Amino acid sequence: MSDDLIKPEELISRLDYATPKTGWMDTPAVIRPGMYCYSANPKSVEYVGMPHPRKWNPMEDDWLLPENWKDIVLKGLKDRLERFRSLRIFMDICVRCGACADKCHFFLGSGDPKNMPVLRAELLRSVYRNEFTKAGKLLGKMVGARKLTVSVLKEWWYYYFQCTQCRRCSVFCPYGIDTAEVTLLTRELLNELGLNIDWIATPVANCYRTGNHLGIQPHAFKDMLDFFVDDIEEITGINMAPNYNKKGADILFITPSGDVFADPGTYTCMGYLMLFHFLKEKYGLDVTWSTYASEGGNFGSFTSHEMMKRLNAKMYAEAKRLGVKWILGGECGHMWRVIHQYMDTMNGPADFLETPVSPITGTVFSNAKSTKMVHISEFTADLIKHGKLDLDPSRNDHLRVTFHDSCNPSRGMGMFEEPRYVIRSVCRNFFEMPANTIREKTFCCGSGSGLNAGENMELRMIGGFPRANAVRHVHEKYGVNMLSCICAVDRAAFPALMEYWVPEVEVTGVTEMVGNALILPGEIKRTTDLRGEPLPGMEDEDAE
Ligand code: SF4
Ligand code: SF4
């Protein structure tokens, strides 16, 4: 982590929730380094055919906007108000009750009123009023209307890329206003002017080209998994041969590429490989990986509805090509939000696949009747419930674990019990964080929706503060030393957040702990966990 990053004590001491001296409309955004992500590489914007690719710098006055930028934005807004009834409603029904005001992690960590969800939406709503309502046209500022100017546009860019689309605010809004939707639609408008950030635009272009956000080619994807196979053999003595692009397999497995290429997600990936090998050996289950649909995540969902649809489609095209029965999805965040909230109307229903049935337990996943896609946690929980896995939870006794409900699986699909059931089955020391910070009220990691870059570290530490604070609580109260989650962005974002706020706590995926506990047929006596750390009671084993 950079030495320039403000120290945690300093960050806390400067927190100020006092009412500002000037009204929000009279307080222009001050864009400063550490709080924003670099602008999009024009090559990436061009690759996916998005408009106005160019080099531009948020710190410079001139953003090189197209001449008719205002017309483009207002036409785009009009179009979306007609297409998205939700947007029209969200623009009209907010009563400014303030119930959402202190629910956003970015507001709690920064004290900046423009990070209150109500005000974040108001940034767009004020322009909507001015252009599309009679009251706004006649009474202007008196009714909260304002003109669209370059300064307003810059404010949009700054603050709509300080929202992780986590939807915590919507849980507390009595009208169900979903600020994440407002953010997504405003980002769409910004994209019409070529104003994206690179940590979204380049993964989107990569995914469109090679099938995953990191731009990894199929052979390199396979090489990486084969590398894990070697590691697993060293730990367990078991050699396994995963299926790649196997036509006619029972199930296609898709996970975020972050699990394949970045620690600690790689250990979760080893857990998947071990689980599938176990199921093949014991029950003959045939699971295949795809080196083409090699990404579960969907950075399109941080860009536009159209891009989300395009990236989602490849998973189903691959399932069709391989002729599998249904799709099993790994521990991902936004993949599941897209699947549960959008896929069916965008690319579905996937009628060429079967309603998912576990061939081992006979359980029908009727919740996935339309999407044909089952979450690894519900699949594993079902196996455990039916006594189909051989587990030794004592192998996780060195871990004192808490669980972070990732925003998308929790608020986006109601996945609360399954991961907890799996954790309690494979690990004997589990502790919940405070009730107002978990389940549907979970706090975001602070780096979601494409904000997980290196240059906006201050923003990420601010946004992750409420989550880290709850982790610190269970660390001090119960000695928690491991933060578990079911999202690859979390696994990528939390190590830096923990290092900053609670350095005593590490990060894991749930399936990594399954891999530790799972007894593979014919395995040798294990002395280490999947990270190569000694298992409890095996600390001296290497020395013997
Ligand atoms: S969606 Fe999340 S990040 Fe965005 S305003 Fe609401 S609480 Fe804040
Ligand atoms: S809780 Fe809902 S109605 Fe109240 S201010 Fe927030 S968005 Fe508006």
pLDDT for 391-411, tens place per residue?
999 999 999 999 999 999 999
- DSSP 8-state assignment for residue 341: I
Classify 33 in phi/psi space as left (phi over 0), alpha (psi -120 to 50) or beta: beta
Q: How much of the chain, in percent, has pLDDT values that exceed 90?
A: 94
Expressed in angstroms and rounded, the spacing between residue 224 Cα and the centre of ligand 1 is 35
Q: Whose CA is nearest to atom 8 of ligand 1?
A: 104
Q: Which has more pLDDT, 476 or 6?
A: 476
Flag whether pLDDT at 155 surpasses 50.
yes
Ligand nearest to the CA of 110: 1
**pLDDT tops 60 at residue 444:** yes
89 lines ligand 2 (CB under 6 A): no
Q: What is the mean pLDDT of residues 381-390?
A: 98
pLDDT given for residue 395 in this prediction: 97
* Token pair for 136: 């706004």
Q: What is the pLDDT of residues 333-343, one digit of tens each?
A: 989 999 999 99
pLDDT of residue 544: 46
Band of residue 266 on the pLDDT scale cut at 50, 70, 90: very high
Mean pLDDT of 139-162: 97
Burial of 467 (0-12, 13-18, 19+ CB in 10 A): buried
Which ligand gives the minimal distance to the CA of 90? 2
Looking at the CA of residue 407, tell me the nearest atom of ligand 1.
2
Instruction: Read off the pLDDT of each residue in 207-228 and give the average, rounded to a whole number.
Output: 94
CA of 281 to the centre of ligand 2 (A): 54
With H, G, I as helix, E, B as strand and everything else as coil, classify residue 398.
coil
C-alpha–C-alpha distance, residues 7 and 15, integer Å: 13
CA geometry: angle at 42 spanning 37 and 47, to 5°? 115
Residue 542 has pLDDT above 60, yes or no: no
Residue type for 445, please? C
The residue whose two tokens read 């570290």 is 457
Question: pTM (2 decimals)?
Answer: 0.96
pLDDT digits (tens, 9 = 90+) for 100-122: 999 999 999 999 999 999 999 99
Phi first, then psi: give them for residue 442, nearest 5 degrees: -55, 150
Residue 533: exposure state from Cβ atoms within 10 A (0-12, 13-18, ≥19) = middle
| Ligand 1 neighbourhood includes 166 CB (under 6 angstroms) | yes
Name the pLDDT band for 539 (thresholds 50, 70, 90): confident
Please give the share of the chain, as a percent, with pLDDT higher than 70. Answer: 99
Please give the pLDDT value at position 304.
92
What distance in Å separates the CA atoms of residue 245 and residue 228, rounded to the nearest whole number?
18
Residues 188 and 80: beta-carbon distance below 8 Å: yes
Residues 12-36, mean pLDDT to the nearest whole number: 94
- Cβ–ligand 1 distance for 169 under 6 Å, the answer yes
Q: Look at residue 543 and tell me whether its pLDDT is greater than 70.
A: no
The helix/strand/coil state of 484 is: strand
**pLDDT at residue 495 greater than cutoff 70:** yes
pLDDT per residue as tens digits for the range 407-420: 999 998 899 999 99
Structure token digits, residue 237: 């003595």
Q: Could you report the per-residue pLDDT of 72-97, keeping only the tens digit for each?
A: 999 999 999 999 999 999 999 999 99
Q: How far is the CA of 221 from the centre of ligand 1 (A)?
A: 34
- At 290-330, the pLDDT tens digits run 999 999 999 999 999 999 999 999 999 999 999 999 999 99
pLDDT for the residue numbered 540: 80
Q: Sign of the CA dihedral 79, 118, 343, 509?
A: positive
Please say whether the beta carbons of 406 and 332 come within 8 A.
no
Comparing CA positions, the residue from 103, 107, 97 lying closest to residue 20 is: 107
What span, in angstroms and rounded, lies between the C-alpha atoms of 321 and 315? 10
For the segment 1-21, the average pLDDT, to the nearest whole number, is 89
The answer, yes or no, to whether any atom of ligand 2 lies below 6 A from the CB of 49, is no
Shortest-distance ligand to the CA of residue 101: 2
Say which residue the tokens 């999202």 belong to. 487
What does the pLDDT look like over 28-45, one tens digit per residue? Answer: 999 999 999 999 999 999
AA identity, residue 401: V
Residue 187: CB within 6 Å of ligand 1? no
Phi and psi at 331, nearest 5°, equal -80, 95
**pLDDT, mean of residues 438-464:** 97
Q: Ligand 1, residues 169, 181, 302: which to mutate, most atoms within 8 A of Cβ? A: 169
Buried b (16+ CB within 10 A) or exposed e, 392-420: ebebbebbbbbbbbbbbbbbbbebbebbb
82 Cα–ligand 1 center, Å: 24
pLDDT-derived band at 1 (thresholds 50, 70, 90) equals low
Position 4 scores a pLDDT of: 81
pLDDT at 541: 73
Average pLDDT over residues 141-147: 97
Is the per-residue pLDDT at 289 higher than 70?
yes
Residue located nearest, by CA, to atom 7 of ligand 2: 118
Ligand 1 mutation target, pool 163, 445, 459, most atoms within 8 A of CB: 163
Q: Atom of ligand 2 at shortest distance to CA of 176? A: 2
pLDDT of residue 485: 98
530 CB under 6 A from ligand 1? no
> Any idea where the domains of the chain sit in the sequence?
8-30+51-195, 204-543
Beta bridge pairs of residue 39:
197
